[in-house]
Chain A
Amino acid sequence: MALLCMEHASVRYDRFSLDVSLTVEEGMITGLIGRNGSGKTTTFKTIVDVVRSGGKIEIFGKDARRLTEDERSQIAISYTDIFFNGEYTVPAIRRVLRSAYKNFNEAEYDRMMKRFDIPQRGKIRNLSTGELAKLRFISAMTHDAKFVILDEPTSGLDVVARDGILDEIRSYMENHEDAAILVSSNITQDLEGLADDVYMIDEGRIVLHENTDTITDDFGLVKCTEEQFEKLDKEYVRGSKKAPYGRDVLVSQKRYYLENYPALAVEDGKLDHCLIVLAGKEEEKT
């Protein structure tokens, strides 16, 4: 069952327009990758109606704008750099969350605050970048939401904290089998080990949608010269980008090229490859 269904959700600004269609299935972690300014945060904002959009957005099978307060409390969102007023204290945030979300889980909140070593007192503005990122994450993960949206939850965190966050996301899904998580990250390695399904957004449009295993198992990056590229079978080519030695070619069947072009170097597929090739500058792509 799809917890989120977006069909041509569109927003138009002076220098940017968004037109996104994507689906988030129950019990799955869906990743959203893209360059800075590609429209990831705007997509999230349209989902929770912070930014009004055209097109269709359904959450829990219902028009997202017509959700009741109870249904809205089943959605959790954590932004990259958006949070409550910095003048608020850490305990005040707990009080706000407790009154805003009927399922606010205080025990879980305490556990995570302790695990991530967040000060229990003091103003939010006095927290470090990492502490603030962790508090934003905790605020989203502690009210048993059915649909969780995480906008770059590991941004600005050290390796240990990042690992802790990814670990919490996995255990959340283990404990909430009917839930779904939509997560974006600039660190594509995080998503490779986390997401079941990945969308790539570029300039406000979805340019790739694949199962993560398909990308890591079947996709590949063929490195070749311009002459070799001319002779290459384009059947499984998803895109290419100029490189110092010629071209980086993203293919969806690396085995085909390994078998038929043994002289060419073919790397295993990674989300990074997809991002570099498909979301590069237009003049460098084919």
Chain B
Amino acid sequence: MKGFMTYFFEQHKRLVLGYSVVLLVAMIFAVSLKTTTVPVAVTILYISIFASLATVASLNSDREIDQLLSLPGGRRGLVRAQYLNAVFAIGSSILAATIVTALTYVFTGGKAHLPSFLVVSYVISVAMTVVAIMQPLSMVFGKKGLLIGFAALMFIGFQTAVRFLLTNGGIFIFKLLKDYLVGHEIQGISVVISENMNMPDLFSVPSVLITAGTAITLFVSSYIISRLVFSRKNFRVNKL
């Protein structure tokens, strides 16, 4: 188990460090030019970080997996380590999203079109989370795992879209009703709506919590399923 963790740490270490340096240099460069295209540059970098992490998460070739399965701990160790690997990937994606968002906001003096940027960040975070979950799933279920992963992706994507529409649609409706409602009394209660109401921040604490909750639910349920599967005798799917 310890060997697996060292292996995965080695796997992520270089990428996280490498991209952090690239990110920092790009940010400094963008700020020194006082350009307002920082969000665009950062978004591209951000995508590249997660694309790379996603690649790494699915990097293990069949041969490499055979080598890893041969380490002490065997398949159980590998699958457990892959789950921890997924947690690491999810954690790093959330951390990177937070850092990039904060830096972008600070460096652009609040001029960045934050909601659009956050939508991109949010979607990438979700995609990354799903990719991270798909890896151990595919380890356990083979092709079935990938299908489950894609189903999860569709579920989260659908949920995101619905939530986005609902929240924005809700505000749109509120804004429409605002002029009518404010100042009126409904059954004796005065309606007061804040004038500062803006589009909701998709990277707000509740939003992140919901995403994280969904991810954790998927993660835990897939782990439980894999444990149940492991307890079955003569289980054979693909390599495992």
Chain A positions near chain B (C-beta within 8 angstroms): 45, 48-52, 54, 67, 69-70, 72-73, 75, 77, 79, 81-85, 87-88, 92, 95-101
B3 in contact with A84 (CB, 8 Å): no
Q: Are A84 and B7 in contact (CB-based, < 8 A)? A: yes
Residues of A within 8 A of B73 (CB): 69, 72, 100
Q: Could you list 19 examples of A-B contacts with CB < 8 Å?
A: A48-B74, A50-B75, A52-B240, A69-B73, A69-B77, A72-B73, A73-B72, A75-B72, A81-B63, A82-B67, A83-B63, A84-B68, A87-B59, A92-B10, A95-B6, A96-B6, A99-B3, A100-B7, A100-B71
Nearest-neighbour CB distance to chain A for B237, whole angstroms, equals 9
For the complex, count residues of B whose C-beta is within 8 A of A.
30
- B interface residues, Cβ below 8 angstroms from A: 1-7, 10-11, 59-61, 63-64, 66-75, 77, 234-236, 239-240
* Contact of B66 with A45 in the complex, beta carbons under 8 Å: yes
Q: Which listed residue (A67, A73, A84, A98) contacts B67, Cβ 8 A? A: A84
Q: Bound state CA distance, A45 and B66, in angstroms?
A: 8
Q: Is the CB of B75 within 8 A of A49?
A: yes
- The answer on a CB contact under 8 Å between A99 and B72 is no
| Cβ B236 vs Cβ A99 within 8 A | no
List B contacts of A95 (CB < 8 A): 6, 10
A99 near B63 with CB under 8 A, answer no
Instruction: Contact check, B63 vs A82: say whether CB atoms are below 8 A apart.
Output: yes
Distance between Cα atoms of A72 and B236 in the complex (Å): 21
With CB as the reference atom, state the residue of chain B lying closest to A54: B234
C-alpha spacing A81/B66, complex, angstroms: 10
Smallest Cβ distance from B235 to chain A, in angstroms? 8
- Closest 4 A-B residue pairs measured CB to CB? A100-B3, A72-B72, A73-B72, A99-B6
- Residue in contact with B60 in the complex, picked from A67, A79, A85, A98, CB distance below 8 Å: A85
- Interface centre among A72, A100, A101, by most chain B C-beta atoms within 10 angstroms, is A100
* CB atoms of B66 and A96 under 8 A apart: no
Task: Name A68's closest neighbour in chain B (CB-CB).
Answer: B72
A127 to chain B, nearest CB (A): 15
Which residues of chain B are near A51, meaning CB under 8 Å? 239
| Beta-carbon contact of A48 and B69 below 8 Å | yes
Contacts of B240 in A (CB 8 A): 52
- A99 adjacent to B5 (CB under 8 Å): yes
| Max chain B C-beta neighbours (<10 A), residue from A69, A83, A98 | A69
Q: B60: which A residues are within 8 A, CB to CB?
A: 85
Contact present for A49 and B69 (CB under 8 Å):
yes
Q: Which B residue sits closest to A91, measured CB to CB? A: B10
In whole angstroms, how far apart are the Cα atoms of A84 and B11 in the complex? Answer: 11
Contacts of A84 in B (CB 8 A): 7, 64, 67-68
For B68, the closest partner residue in chain A by CB is A84
| Whole-angstrom CA separation of A81 from B62 in the bound complex | 11
- Distance in Å: Cβ of A17 to nearest Cβ of chain B: 14
B4, B59, B61, B66 — most chain A CB neighbours (10 Å): B66
Asked, given contacts A69-B1, A82-B67, whether A88 binds B10 with beta carbons under 8 Å apart, the answer is: yes
Q: Are B69 and A50 closer than 8 Å at their CB atoms?
A: yes
With A70-B72, A85-B11 already in contact, 17 other A-B pairs whose C-beta atoms are closer than 8 Å:
A49-B69, A50-B75, A52-B234, A52-B235, A52-B236, A67-B74, A69-B77, A73-B72, A75-B72, A77-B70, A79-B70, A82-B64, A85-B64, A96-B10, A100-B7, A100-B73, A101-B72
Check if A96 sits within 8 Å of B3, measured CB to CB.
yes
Task: Report B-chain residues with C-beta under 8 Å of the C-beta of A77.
Answer: 70
Query: Complex: how many Å from CA A49 to CA B6?
Result: 22
Contacts of B66 in A (CB 8 A): 45, 50, 79, 82
Tell me, in angstroms, the Cα distance from A210 to B75 when the chains sit together. 34
